[in-house]
Amino acid sequence: MTDTSSSTAPVVDVLCVGAGFSGLYAAHKTTEKGWSFAGFETAPSVGGTWYWNTYPGARCDVESVYYSYSFSEELQQEWTWSERFAPQAEILAYINHVADRFDLRRHFQFNTRVVSATWLADERLWEVALDSGETRRGRYLLAGSGGLSTPKDVDVPGQENFAGLTVSTSRWNISLDDLAGKRVAVIGTGSSGVQCIPLIAEVAEHLTVFQRTPNYVFPARNAPLDAETVEKIKSNYPAIREECRHSPGGIPDRPVTDRAFDVSAEERHERYEKAYERSGFLGVGAEFSDLLLDPEANETAAEFMRGKIREIVDAPEKARVLEPRYHPLGAKRSCFGTDYYETFNRPNVSVVSLRDEPIETMTADSIVTSNDFYQVDALVLAIGFDAFTGPLFALNITTPQAGKLQDAWSDGTRTLLGIMTAGFPNFFMIGGPQSPALVSNVIVTIEQAVDWITGLIDHAKARGAEVIEPTSEAQEDWVTITEETVGQTLYASTDSWYRGSNIAGKPTTFMGYVGGVGKYRRMCAELAERGYPGITLD
Ligand code: FAD
Ligand code: N01
């Protein structure tokens, strides 16, 4: 590695990691204010999630008209989404359009990984070290490094023995044709697996799905957006965006107040049927107000979904394996699929329950379970991410007073508003842990966070302060709020990547605020109006 140490490079106002939705909006917002900005991105181009996750079937499951930037009326008028849930390529094209339209690429250094970030207390600056050997200094460090950008390490026993084609959904680098005529195994049935399985089934000679935990898969009900719908949306965008900003989930809400047992079994079933037709995040799982609070109420929705699976899947044994029984509906991230359960009616598709027969090892051409062995030519890993802390810890963020971020968070994430953390001055996370990003339309949270962070920096600058840091007391108050809010729900007791339980050794603390983006926005705004109590300026 050449040493191109750039001590002569100018000190910038803002250093930023990542050129996804977060980094690009941060670049736009801060440079508009006249601040200097230096962004770094491992990938050769913009896009973040939508650059990396190019597996067949990848698309958003928050409707595109909501899952997009709201900061520019011109942008939302000139861009037209073709489908209710745009495919990955279209979302990536949109992000590229945004980068070009607002001339944002010039602020980023691509093919560049930030390997460490160190607070230089005397200079009151951050210094980032890059994998090129260079260093750069700046006043503020923004992490737009993503919640789902670090793939989970492969932990399938014996996977290193496998000699066939191996590909991961989060780093997809083959074409679907490469799987044509092959015996394919997919391991993992979260959102990524659910989206790619039906398409792989269409080309594979045989597809075996290795499923550990069956999840609830709702029909996505994707469809082209017709001209009339697009026109209606475009003429109403400001109101739609406002509704999203003040909603619980960052999408227009459909408030319900009655509980599952307030109505008769027949009425409940009818309502679930209608909700199933509607699908989306406001479908079955949101039909009654207590579904994520009361296990018995939840079970009525869960059993409704199991009934749907039994209706759709012809073979009773396959249906039994696919029926979710190990966690409440919605307490792990729900999945939205197209022809997901129908795919298991194809003669070339089988499903293996790893709960019944765990994988013991792999050979050069097979997966060996406790019960059988399955010959495969290609292996697709859809095993998920080391969410939130994975990318943050890889930044090796260090301050003299608090040490490394991973040490400060060894018992779980501790933040103020999911944006700042005590002991790490001038460090801001966009859509970080303990923000609403985990359970919302993430773009709403990203825009709100960047707006709030820049407002706070303006406030500090106006007072001649260079250093911004939350107090430990304010941080503990926020940790308590997030824990109490989630503690009332079924999320709190369900193993999931939300709680870090998909990664061996990771502390299992819930990594989001589930009180809703609207309420969160109000709390952030109130803090600003009150002059940011709990945040010290120096
Ligand atoms: P990312 O898009 O993850 O971008 C972070 C970038 O930082 C990456 O490009 C990464 O390479 C870069 N980076 C990280 N560390 C470093 C480093 N050390 N040095 C340099 N660069 C670094 N959310 C929704 O709300 N709705 C959806 O429908 C939805 N669909 C999704 C589908 C998939 C397949 C996945 C994986 C996630 C989905 N999400 C969805 C969540 C999604 O991650 C966010 O919506 C959003 O894209 C996050 O944007 P971001 O810019 O914060 O992070
Ligand atoms: O990852 P996941 P994902 N052996 O962690 C299994 C977003 N997203 O990439 O549940 C066998 O959800 C694991 O089993 P279990 C969205 O927020 C959105 O699918 O741990 N199996 C699980 O079935 C989503 O929630 C979209 O028992 C193993 C699966 O792999 C998040 O990204 C699309 C295993 C992992 O599921 C992550 O989704 C894609 C092992 N060793 C992603 N290790 C949209 O639709 C793991 N598994 C918008």
The answer, yes or no, to whether residue 152 has pLDDT greater than 50, is: yes
3-class secondary structure per residue, 52-96 = HCCCCCCECCCCCCCCCCCCCHHHHHHCCCCECCCEHHHHHHHHH
Contact indicator for 214, 356 with CB cutoff of 8 Å: no
pLDDT in the model for residue 8: 67
Give 215-226 pLDDT, tens digit per residue.
999 999 999 999
Q: Give me the residue label for tokens 């290795």.
A: 210
Ligand nearest to the CA of 497: 2
pTM: 0.97
Listed in sequence order, the residues at least 6 apart from 116 whose beta carbon sits closer than 8 Å to its beta carbon are 128, 129, 395, 396, 397, 398
Give 414-462 pLDDT, tens digit per residue.
999 999 999 999 999 999 999 999 999 999 999 999 999 999 999 999 9
* Ligand 2 atom 26 nearest Cα: 191
pLDDT in the model for residue 9: 79
State the Cα–Cα distance between residues 327 and 113, nearest whole angstrom.
37
The answer, yes or no, to whether residue 53 has pLDDT greater than 80, is: yes
5 pLDDT tier (thresholds 50, 70, 90)? very low
Which residues form the pocket of ligand 1, taking CB atoms under 6 Å from any ligand atom?
A: 17-23, 40-43, 48-49, 51, 53, 58, 60-62, 67, 113-114, 144-149, 192, 391, 394-395, 430-431, 441-442, 446
Three-class SS state of 490? helix
Q: Is 395 left (phi over 0), alpha (psi -120 to 50) or beta?
A: alpha
230: tokens are 């697009």
Contact indicator for 9, 120 with CB cutoff of 8 Å: no
State the Cα–Cα distance between residues 396 and 118, nearest whole angstrom.
8
42: nearest Cα among 123, 108, 120, 107? 108
Ligand nearest to the CA of 129: 1
Continuous H helices in 372-513: 389-393, 405-408, 442-462, 472-487
ipTM at complex level: 0.99
pLDDT in the model for residue 7: 54
3-class secondary structure per residue, 294-329 = CHHHHHHHHHHHHHHHHHHCCCHHHHHHHCCCCCCC
